[in-house]
Amino acid sequence: MHQSFYTLKTLFTGDLLSLHVPITVNRFEHCNFEAAEVLVGFGLLLQATGGPTQTSDIAAVVPEGSQMKFKALAEEHGLK
């Protein structure tokens, strides 16, 4: 539900294509994010606002068991 409202908000402000990057989490309790998901989202935020970001720098703080998921999500969403 929140994603639908945010999509409309960014559409009406003209930011849909530049600021709206949906990262779908399909599991019980929609705010139950894993480290890889949060860090990819943070990296995308930095990238969208012109901040310095390198996937390898962000990956350094991802727990070892989440590295593969982080790399897959980063690639899927275009994190450089």
CA atoms within 13 A on the CB side of 25: 18
pTM for this entry: 0.71
Cβ contacts of 14-22, under 8 Å, gap ≥ 24: 18/48, 19/48, 21/48, 21/77
Q: Report yes or no: 56 and 29 within 8 Å, Cβ to Cβ.
A: no
Mean pLDDT of the chain: 81
pLDDT in tens, 6-45: 778 777 787 666 666 777 777 777 678 888 999 998 888 8
Question: Is residue 72's pLDDT more than 90?
Answer: yes
